[in-house]
Amino acid sequence: MHLIITEKHDTARRIADILSGKKPTKERVSGVDTYRLDGKTVMGLSGHIVEVDFPKDYNNWQKTDLKDLIHAKILTTPTHANIVTALRKLGKEAQHLTIATDYDREGELIGVEALNVVKKVNPNINADRVRYSTITPGEIKKTFASPTKIDFDLAAAGESRQVIDLIWGAVLTRFVSLSSGRLGDKFLSVGRVQSPTLAIIVNREKERKAFVPVPYWELFATLVNGGEFEAEHKKGRFPDKSEAEAIKAKLGETGTVKSIELGKRNEKPPVPFNTTEFLRSASSIGISAANAMRIAEYLYVNGFISYPRTDNTVYPQTLDTKSIIASFLDTEFHDYAQKLLSGKLMPTKGKKETTDHPPIHPATPARRSDLKDDEWKIYELVVRRFFATFADETQWETMAVTVDISGEEFGANGARLVKPGWRWYYSYNVPEDRILPQLKEGQILTVKEINLIGKETQPPSRYGQGHLIKIMDDLGLGTKSTRHEIISKLYSRAYVVGNPLQPTRTAFAVIEALEKYANTITKPEMTSELEQDMDAISEGKIKEEQVIQVSRDMLDEVFKDMDRNKELISESLKNGLYEDRIIGTCMKCSSDLIIRKSKKGSRFIGCSGYPNCDFTLPLPRTGQIVVTENQCKDHGLNLIKIINKGKRPWDIGCPHCNFIEWQKKLDEEKKKSDAIAAK
């Protein structure tokens, strides 16, 4: 029997359908669905079927010496007993094993994990590997006809990441959580990629807080004569209001067109999608990085798009791009496909070219009715980006006008789209035309209105998810496969809220303590170096054991700094986390209102002046409480959110307003109940 292993159950079912050419026979083995066809059995895993962990002796956080944890032995233990049992049973019967998991570090490691399970019951089994970028009939049949060798170096790179992240995460998280007294489900998560990323967000917020707005003024003239338009004084910003007022006072009722400059501006079409640019673009149309990757994974497994984890921005010559475009002739993208096929298909090229997977592209046509709304949005984004990479440049006509008003120069710029080019295909965030009226040099214009507008310089903006992923990519933080997961973890740990990302007080407390007493953890250089070492493992240049040892030695040095400053870190964290619990000022006694716990474990907002003051407000029983910076205008209390895993954040708002509304609701329900009882 020929056993074929895929990464997920849905992939197993689809590949079995393709290889059989008909509906394969489904059979349950140890509670796991498998598919039989012509002497072959296709079985899907559930991602990793084993995990790396410390021996049980290290489970107790308070009793474990963290210096020992850095160099502790790492064990591999099964995580899906039924899948492992089924794998052993089928592996024992098999003469040939083919690994058909996703082709990347994680996929190669998952495949090797499965192979190791099988080898324990069938040591001499013949094993090979198939690699594909789309789960389409053509590519699946082709790749199964010419299998290759398993890449054990690539798998070792994936395993080294697991081990390194386990050690760093466990040691740093335990240290910070124990130092702050935040244990249980409220522990403070720290990691080698997570913490430098959070530091970027926190430091951006510090820049915003430190920003001092500077006032300035702008002078505008509304001009008419055959058409109305607005021109701005050529100086732009006036730091001195009196200067702007003096110019405004001398302006007459007419102006003269001094010069007209006509020009053209071309926009080159975008390069093919790699993972980073795909996630940035998805974020720009309102789909979070984590959600975009989840949807892309679904579209890939179902054969609609290519593998969504890639650094490549150059289509390989082996990719039949003409056939892909032609496949859309019978879809709602017919006009776009037909126009492209009528010309030369010369795609753009990005700077990154790799040999593992092509850039993200559509694999097969889909109907809008086949997909849910967000799935269609992502699919359409991929299709339109693919088409745009073959399109012509976008052409704009530009017009720059200078008008003299009483010896002062005012300018206006216009732009008109004359050839849509690639923007016809990729119709996202298209700039609007700025049309100026037909003008001639020397023409007299009437000054309809003069406006002096006061403004202030603005603080640097917060990072959106797409922008943050690009920064992480530039700094070597994480990989194309993990960056969206890191951001999701920051949300789930209540370190950030909203998009753009705003750090919570907890985030400030953790990062400020680490930056002051263990600065290395918050800098990208250390983790970027480890990422490069893991790449070297996959290329066979260095052994996994060496890189893991280097990472342990790095952590040793980091831990020395932390241990040396243990009391200072503890004090800094506790002070910061106390501030994180403050909701506002008590209206009865002016003490701090803070989040507290009763003896029975329920949560409430209580006065720090207790027992002299007994003012309280209720809080929901479950969920993580996030105190935001926004305040209630009526009560002066900070607005709060409740985060429950797997659910959207619950905006409670002002806890006092919420309590008043709750009381009103109870009163209304009581009145209804009393009215019914009276009948």
CA distance 395 to 490: 42
Residue 14: closest CA among 163, 178, 136: 136
Residues 496 and 197: beta-carbon distance below 8 Å: no
Which residue among the candidates 132, 307, 491, 517 is catalytic per the annotation? 307
CA distances from 525 to 196, 529, 561 (A): 9, 6, 17
Q: What is the number of other CB atoms lying within 10 angstroms of the CB of residue 360?
A: 28
Element containing residue 491 per DSSP (H, E)? helix 483-492
Classify 114 in phi/psi space as left (phi over 0), alpha (psi -120 to 50) or beta.
alpha
Q: What is the number of other CB atoms lying within 10 angstroms of the CB of residue 413?
A: 13
The 3 state secondary structure assigned to 279-317 is HHHHHHCCCCHHHHHHHHHHHHHCCCECCCCCCCCCCCC
Q: What is the token pair recorded at 283?
A: 């974020």
Element containing residue 398 per DSSP (H, E)? strand 394-405
**CB neighbour list of residue 438: distance below 8 Å, 6 or more residues apart:** 226, 227
CA distance 603 to 186: 13
Q: Which residues pair with 662 in a beta bridge?
A: none
Residues 390 and 303: beta-carbon distance below 8 Å: no
Residue in the structure block whose two tokens are 């080898």: 119
What are the backbone dihedrals phi and psi of residue 544, each rounded to the nearest 5 degrees, phi first?
-55, -45
CA distances from 319 to 38, 133, 358, 360 (A): 30, 11, 8, 12
379 is catalytic: no
Residues 50 and 110: beta-carbon distance below 8 Å: no
CA angle, 525 then 530 then 536, to 5°: 130
- What size, in residues, is the chain? 679
Residues 358 and 308: beta-carbon distance below 8 Å: no
Burial class (CB in 10 A: 0-12, 13-18, 19+), 22: exposed
> Which 3 state secondary structure label does DSSP give 103?
coil
Q: Which residues pair with 617 in a beta bridge?
A: 605
Q: How many CA atoms lie within 13 A of 213 on its CB side?
A: 9
CA distance 675 to 655: 30
Residues 84 and 78: beta-carbon distance below 8 Å: yes
Peptide bond into 147 cis (omega under 30): no
Residue 274: closest CA among 310, 305, 307, 299: 310
What are the backbone dihedrals phi and psi of residue 198, each rounded to the nearest 5 degrees, phi first?
-65, -35
What are the backbone dihedrals phi and psi of residue 209, each rounded to the nearest 5 degrees, phi first?
-70, -35
Residues marked active site are found at 307
